[in-house]
């Protein structure tokens, strides 16, 4: 055999071993998972944009008349319609719509005469701040209460959790918000009133992130921090209560299922302490589906709690979309809808990643 043949054999043998190794198979599975992940994101966003485009064309509101007014001359209406591309075929309108959305251009708001994206940047932090504190309250109290209710099934705590859940699902949130304002603000004066901040602090607070609590803490303006918190605590507690009602009920259900499993019986037979069985084993397994519940609850709050923001005059995304819809400002409505849909998609993906991280069985598929 020629020397070159020996050399090629020495080169090919390791190459075959590399290509047939388990590492390559794992890499191939990872790449396929990434591709599927990207395809799902692409198709989901495409479906979201398609739905918003169809809604924008089906609503009985002429976007041209919303801009120029009902009494504009015909030649002005036609010129604006041509500038907006609404005289072209639908597939061309959809292509133009996709191009603008990809660039972050949702058009101009008729109500505020500002770019919709600028309005969303100024309103979304208010909703983010409100929803984040709400889910911290809801999950921080709902999970321990749900665990306790499952462990003491039929006891006082269990009955209390059920009653709280029943009230949370039955009482209208706007009525509860009005009663809370009447009691804690008007009568007791324990909290701030509607809005995010008093006028005395609104123009002196240095706004960097739009999250007023964080901005006040970063600037060291603790009097403004206290004022912002006094306005935030009541609507956040209200949202937290409704999240708590759902999260505690689901936690109780998941924990009851885990506590009936054979591994719990085996752990008790081995003499492992009850607290360790509950918090280290049963709750850890229950957290796998519970992560999805908490994440979707958070997404529901970030969607814009319209009634809560309306009652408390909270200048968030929900109130912005509501006002835009009432004034036939479809650019703002569709832009807000896309942002809400993006929030749901993003948090669903985060929940899926957390699910895989908490459950090793999903990583082997």
Chunked mean pLDDT (size 10), the chain, 365 residues: 48 47 74 80 84 77 69 75 74 83 83 88 91 92 91 85 82 86 90 87 86 90 92 92 90 90 85 85 86 87 78 88 82 85 84 74 55
Q: CB–CB of 232/134 below 8 Å? A: no
CB atoms within 10 A of CB 327: 15
- CATH number of domain containing 333: 1.10.3720.10
- Residue 12's pLDDT is what? 46
- Cβ atoms of 243 and 270 within 8 Å: the answer is no
DSSP state of 105: -
Instruction: Show Cβ contacts of residue 59 under 8 Å, excluding neighbours closer than 6 positions.
Output: 330
What pLDDT is recorded for position 17?
A: 47
Closest CA to 311 of 184, 194, 222: 194
23 lies in some domain: no
Residue 108 pairs with which residues in a beta bridge? 115
Judge whether 95 lies within some domain. Answer: no
Q: Going by C-beta distance under 8 Å and a sequence separation of 6 or more, which residues neighbour residue 121?
A: 210
69 is a domain residue: no
In-domain check, residue 135: yes
Tell me the per-residue pLDDT of 248-304, one tens digit each, with 9 for 90 and over.
Answer: 989 999 999 988 888 888 888 888 888 888 888 888 888 888 988 898 889 888 875
The C-alpha atoms of residue 182 and residue 172 are separated, in whole angstroms, by: 16
Return d(Cα 128, Cα 298) in angstroms, integer: 10
345 lies in a domain? yes
Residue 361: its pLDDT value, please? Answer: 59
User: Is the residue at 96 inside a domain?
Assistant: no
* Whole-angstrom distance, CA of residue 306 vs CA of residue 174: 10
- Answer yes or no: is 287 within a domain: yes
Alpha carbon dihedral 316, 318, 323, 326, in 10-degree steps, equals 180
Do 149 and 250 touch, CB atoms closer than 8 A?
Answer: no
- Partners of 115 in the β-ladder: 108
In eight-state DSSP terms, residue 329 is -
Task: Tell me, yes or no, whether 43 lies in a domain.
Answer: no
Cα–Cα–Cα angle for 356, 358, 360, nearest 5°? 65
When divided into structural domains, the chain yields a total of 1
- State the sign of the Cα–Cα–Cα–Cα dihedral 355, 359, 360, 361: negative
- Domain of residue 148 covers 119-363
Spatial neighbors of 195 by CB under 8 A, at least 6 apart, are: 231, 312, 313, 314, 315
């Amino acid at each position: 055999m020629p020397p070159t043949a020996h050399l090629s054999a020495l080169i090919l043998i390791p190459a075959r071993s590399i290509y047939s190794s388990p590492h390559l198979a794992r890499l191939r599975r990872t790449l396929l998972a990434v591709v599927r992940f990207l395809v799902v994101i692409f198709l989901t966003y495409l479906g979201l944009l398609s739905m918003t485009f169809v809604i924008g064309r089906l609503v009985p509101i002429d976007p041209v008349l919303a801009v120029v007014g009902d009494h504009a001359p015909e030649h002005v209406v036609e010129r604006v319609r041509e500038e907006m591309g609404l005289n072209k075929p639908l597939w061309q309108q959809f292509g133009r719509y996709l191009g603008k959305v990809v660039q972050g251009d949702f058009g101009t708001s008729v109500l505020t005469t500002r770019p919709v994206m600028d309005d969303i940047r100024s309103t979304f932090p208010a909703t983010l701040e409100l929803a984040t504190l709400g889910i911290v309250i809801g999950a921080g109290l709902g999970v321990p209460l749900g665990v306790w209710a499952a462990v003491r099934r039929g006891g006082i705590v269990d009955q209390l959790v059920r009653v709280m859940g029943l009230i949370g699902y039955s009482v209208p949130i706007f009525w509860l918000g009005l009663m809370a304002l009447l009691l804690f603000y008007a009568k007791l004066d324990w909290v701030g009133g509607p809005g995010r901040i008093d006028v005395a602090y609104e123009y002196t607070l240095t706004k960097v992130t739009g999250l007023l609590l964080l901005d006040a803490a970063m600037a060291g303006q603790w009097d403004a921090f206290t004022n912002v918190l006094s306005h935030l605590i009541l609507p956040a507690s209200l949202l937290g209560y409704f999240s708590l009602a759902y999260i505690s009920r689901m936690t109780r259900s998941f924990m009851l299922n885990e506590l009936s499993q054979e591994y719990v019986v085996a752990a008790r037979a081995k003499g492992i302490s009850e607290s360790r069985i509950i918090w280290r084993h049963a709750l850890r397994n229950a957290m796998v589906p519970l992560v999805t519940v908490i994440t979707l609850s958070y997404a529901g709050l970030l969607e814009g709690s319209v009634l809560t923001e309306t009652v408390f005059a909270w200048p968030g995304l929900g109130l912005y979309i509501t006002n835009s819809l009432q004034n036939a400002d479809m650019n703002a409505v569709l832009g807000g809808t896309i942002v809400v849909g993006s929030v749901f998609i993003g948090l669903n993906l985060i929940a899926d990643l957390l699910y895989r991280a908490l459950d090793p069985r999903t990583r082997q598929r």
